[in-house]
Amino acid sequence: QQQVKQSPQSLIVQKGGISIINCAYENTAFDYFPWYQQFPGKGPALLIAIRPDVSEKKEGRFTISFNKSAKQFSLHIMDSQPGDSATYFCAARPSLGYTGNQFYFGTGTSLTVIP
Amino acid sequence: DSGVTQTPKHLITATGQRVTLRCSPRSGDLSVYWYQQSLDQGLQFLIQYYNGEERAKGNILERFSAQQFPDLHSELNLSSLELGDSALYFCASSVAGTHEQYFGPGTRLTVT
């Protein structure tokens, strides 16, 4: 069972446009929600992360919006650039009271930014 | 560069064989995690070690095992390999008590 559902599977955006990737979860014990960026042949790299006590976090052109009541969070990439073309994964982690520190990953979104 | 190293980068082997993947965590990180990434399954958590002890187990097959050594490097052993084990295997590490996980470059395993 997929604990974190991610959509869309692929996304094509024009340069300068806004890329939006959505994720949803069910487990209310999740309390940490990172986004990872992965380029071909590389490992996932931490991009930005949010805790559920805030509704939005912004770092440069990347923003996470978090809706605790709806159990959804999304990544917005403003002014998308060709260099942003990569696969993006959302993830969620239960609170530290849980055994371990494992992440549950979404299935990934392949983003292509057209020049 | 995340500071996590993995060897080998590529591995090609036959069905039924056994292989060992190696991971060195970032300096100071006590936790090591192993993930499998395949095209149809995405990133799947396999197992976590913290300071030499198993901390959490995910969807790890009985044919797979791991360990973390006193110098904190970790090895993932895959035995009786099947075609379906072909995937990218990632190691990640984190500092104890924090959330951020840093991934290595991965090992691409091809079973023929």
3-state secondary structure A20-33: EEEEEECCCCEEEE
CA separation (Å) from A40 to A45, A76, A86?
12, 21, 7
**B33 and chain A in contact, CB less than 8 A:** yes
Going residue by residue through chain A (115 aa), what tens digit of pLDDT does each one get?
A: 678 999 999 999 999 999 999 999 998 889 899 999 999 888 999 999 999 899 999 999 999 999 999 999 999 999 999 999 999 999 998 876 555 668 899 999 999 999 9
Residues B24, B5 contacting (CB under 8 angstroms):
yes
Å between B30 CA and nearest CA of chain A:
12
Q: Which residues of A touch B68 (CB under 8 A)?
A: none
| Per-residue pLDDT at B8 exceeds 60 | yes
Q: What pLDDT score was predicted for residue A71?
A: 95
Strands A86-94 and A10-14, by their bridges, are: unpaired
Beta bridge partners of B9: none
Q: Token pair of A110, please?
A: 């392949």
Alpha carbon distance A57, A94 (integer Å): 19
